[in-house]
Amino acid sequence: MSLRNQIPEDLKDALRNRKSLELSVLRMLQSSIKNKEIDIKGELNDEQVIQVVSSEIKKRRDAADEFSKVEREDAADKEKEEIDILMKYMPQQMSEDEISSIVVSAINESSAQGMKDLGQVMKIVMPKLKGKADGKVINSIVRTELQKLEE
């Protein structure tokens, strides 16, 4: 079943089972998908739905970080619970070792010499890992690998 059809089914289940948090998250997600469809004037495929889900997860991570900074752990925990619900619609996330091997091959492919080549490496890595890993994790691994080259 495509993600586009799975989300409304899960929304119905959440409604039947009276899972209020899951229900609100799925309604928001469905709304975001509808807005994206209006923007592109067509129906989204699974890859585009994953991009919308990824965007919503990023918003919640940023919000959770901000809540943690101002010591509002209750609100940060709620955001983290919402992230857990949204992660069901993301592809299996890659481990740091898998990401690292892709980064190393991208560094070799681009003939990167150090930190000045960060952009080139990221251009190669990001399309390969889109939706399969968090951008912050990818960026930190790329930076670590490029710093090893400069030593």
Do 76 and 53 share a structural domain? yes
- Rounded Cα–Cα distance for residues 80 and 114 (Å): 35
pLDDT the model gives residue 13: 92
Instruction: Name the token pair of 27.
Output: 């309604």
Contact status, residue 145 vs residue 100, Cβ threshold 8 Å: yes
Contact status, residue 142 vs residue 118, Cβ threshold 8 Å: yes
Q: Higher model confidence: residue 94 or residue 74?
A: 74
Contact status, residue 62 vs residue 76, Cβ threshold 8 Å: no
**Span 14-48, pLDDT tens digits:** 999 999 999 999 999 999 999 999 999 988 888 88
Q: What does the pLDDT average to over 81-99?
A: 88
Query: Domain span at residue 67?
Result: 3-87
Contact status, residue 35 vs residue 49, Cβ threshold 8 Å: no
Do 140 and 66 share a structural domain? no
Looking at 87, 110, 127, the residue that finishes a domain is 87
Q: What does the pLDDT average to over 117-123?
A: 86
Do 100 and 62 share a structural domain? no
Collapsed DSSP state (helix, strand, coil) of residue 132: coil
Do 65 and 26 share a structural domain? yes
pLDDT the model gives residue 82: 93
pLDDT the model gives residue 132: 81
pLDDT the model gives residue 130: 78
pLDDT the model gives residue 67: 93
Contact status, residue 29 vs residue 52, Cβ threshold 8 Å: yes
Q: What does the pLDDT average to over 100-108?
A: 87
pLDDT the model gives residue 110: 84
Do 55 and 116 share a structural domain? no
Q: What is the CATH number of the domain that holds 118?
A: 1.10.10.410
Do 47 and 23 share a structural domain? yes
Contact status, residue 30 vs residue 85, Cβ threshold 8 Å: no
**Span 49-73, pLDDT tens digits:** 888 998 999 999 999 999 999 999 9
Statement: residue 150 has pLDDT above 80: no
Q: What does the pLDDT average to over 6-11?
A: 91
What does pLDDT average to over the chain? 88
Do 62 and 117 share a structural domain? no
Instruction: Name the token pair of 32.
Output: 């975001």
Statement: residue 149 has pLDDT above 80: no
- Rounded Cα–Cα distance for residues 142 and 77 (Å): 29
122, amino acid identity: M
